[in-house]
Amino acid sequence: METSTALQLVELNRQFYADFGKNFSATRQCIQPGVRKTLSMLAGTERILDLGCGNGELARTLAQAGFHGTYLGLDFSLPLLADAGSQPEGFSAGFREADLTADDWDTSLFTTHYSLITAFAVLHHIPGLDMRRSILQKVHSLLEPDGKFIHSNWQFLNSEKLKARIQPWSAAHLSAADVDGGDYLLDWRSGGLGLRYAHHFSAQELSQLTTETGFRLVESFFSDGEGGRLGLYQVWERV
């Protein structure tokens, strides 16, 4: 994928979450079953960096579970971050505006390393192999030795209903030749009509990214939605 195309898709998604952040937040008032399963793996004392933290629902769930480690959430959507600021009294969670596709999003985080970094429903919105590798390499650098990276990726092709939301690339002034295999344009219909870019990852693609960016796969499972197959979750460990 050409850099200019990747940046165009980044801007498409940035505009979507600026325009529809409030509507999107209203549909995300509880964590997904797969996310809850990964939380059962925690000791409760981790130093967590949550990439694409959205409306802060993960932090609220951690607070309710008695988590007493540290938590920092990053997101580029100001409407979602505004909702994230509402946390249970006595729970210390930090939130920061950051665009993961920017070259320098991690420069202010080098003062500490994290035992756990999460990216739930984030990587499938990152266009192009180069940009994904860059972000994953930064994740690797921000983790402690043996630190874990837990992420989920939308498996929308496993749903006939979601496949019906796929739109032609011409709606974004692009063609199929401009994008990579596995790339799709999907519509949004709550509070208006919007468009989002998403990549449908295969297990083979993720396996290649794991080894290329210095991780090893610890666990992989499907969860969420109809048939429990709308999210592909993986736990990676820094090598």
Give the whole-angstrom CA distance, residue 239 versus residue 5. 32
Percent of the chain with pLDDT over 70: 95
Nearest by Cα to 74 from 103, 44, 29, 108:
108
Give the pLDDT band of residue 86 (cuts 50, 70, 90): confident
- Provide the token pair at 133: 């590798």
Please give the C-alpha separations between residue 152 and each of 37, 112, 176, in angstroms, as whole numbers: 12, 24, 25
Give the start-to-end residue ranges of the domains of the chain: 3-154+200-238
Q: Is the pLDDT of residue 239 over 60?
A: yes
Q: What's the average model confidence in pLDDT over 152-168?
A: 96
Q: What's the average model confidence in pLDDT over 214-221?
A: 96
pLDDT tens per residue, range 184-204: 999 988 777 889 999 999 999
| Higher per-residue pLDDT: 29 or 68 | 68
The CATH number of 3-154+200-238 is which of 3.20.20.80, 3.40.50.150, 3.30.300.30, 3.40.190.80? 3.40.50.150
Provide the sign of the torsion angle of the four alpha carbons 202, 20, 70, 59, taken in this order.
negative
E strands, the chain, are: 47-51, 70-75, 94-97, 114-120, 143-154, 166-167, 183-188, 194-199, 215-223, 231-238
| Higher per-residue pLDDT: 92 or 13 | 13
Give the whole-angstrom CA distance, residue 17 versus residue 20. 5
Threshold 0.85, pTM exceeds: yes
Question: What per-residue confidence (pLDDT) applies to 26?
Answer: 60
- Provide the token pair at 88: 């249970």
